[in-house]
């Protein structure tokens, strides 16, 4: 018989063997495709990667981007989260709510982040658990945190509370 205790963030960190992510929150790689692909810039990457990613209030996923790869966020449990998207050159940040499907369209269980777009997130409750898939597969060489850029190079439109 399974454990009937209510899930909380600490229990999830332990049960899923999560570790701190540089953008904030907790993660563990669940899958890295053995299939390799060559991007248009010549770099080879796994065709697909998948991670568990947990945000527990008041943690945030800081503004970051993955160059030359698309990312999908899939709600896996807990409360919805607010995902913010910003074009590479800046502009107006777009808000998505990733959570259980709501018929009014307020929340969707999946959100897509285009390649090179800035993204940030925060939990809208106690904790949010998602799976993030990246294709071509994730590599930290393609990862960039916005707050590490010189101020003059930072795009406009990034919400300051998520830096």
Question: For each of the chain's 163 residues, which pLDDT tens digit applies?
Answer: 455 556 899 999 999 999 999 999 999 999 999 999 999 999 999 999 999 999 999 999 999 999 999 999 999 999 999 999 999 999 999 999 999 999 998 999 999 999 999 999 999 999 999 999 999 999 999 999 999 999 999 999 999 899 8
What's the burial of 4, exposed, middle or buried (CB within 10 Å: 0-12/13-18/19+)?
A: exposed
Question: C-alpha 154: how far from its chain's center?
Answer: 20
| pLDDT of 141 | 97
| pLDDT of 1 | 43
Q: Do the beta carbons of residue 115 and residue 70 sit within 8 Å?
A: yes
**Whole-angstrom distance between the N-terminal and C-terminal Cα of the chain?**
43
Q: Strand, coil or helix: what is 136?
A: coil
Residue 131 φ/ψ, nearest 5 degrees: -110, 135
9-67+80-107+116-156: what fold?
A: Jelly Rolls (2.60.120)
**Whether the model pTM is above 0.75:** yes
Q: Where are the domains of the chain?
A: 9-67+80-107+116-156
**Dihedral over alpha carbons 91, 88, 108, 24 (to 10 degrees):** -110
């Amino acid at each position: 018989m399974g454990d009937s205790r209510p899930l909380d963030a600490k229990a999830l960190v332990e049960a899923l063997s999560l570790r701190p992510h540089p953008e904030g929150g907790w993660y563990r790689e669940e899958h890295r495709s053995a299939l390799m692909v060559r991007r248009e810039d010549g770099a080879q990457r796994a065709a697909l990667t998948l991670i568990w990613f947990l945000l527990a209030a008041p943690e945030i996923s800081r503004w970051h981007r993955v160059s030359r790869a698309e990312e999908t966020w899939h709600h896996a449990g807990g409360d919805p989260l607010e995902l913010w998207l910003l074009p590479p050159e800046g502009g107006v940040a777009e808000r998505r709510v990733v959570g259980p499907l709501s018929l009014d369209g307020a929340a969707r269980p999946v959100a897509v982040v285009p390649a090179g777009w800035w993204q940030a997130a925060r939990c809208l409750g106690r904790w949010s658990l998602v799976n993030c898939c990246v294709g071509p597969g994730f590599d930290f060489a393609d990862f960039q945190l916005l707050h590490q850029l010189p101020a003059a190079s930072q795009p406009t439109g990034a919400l300051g509370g998520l830096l």
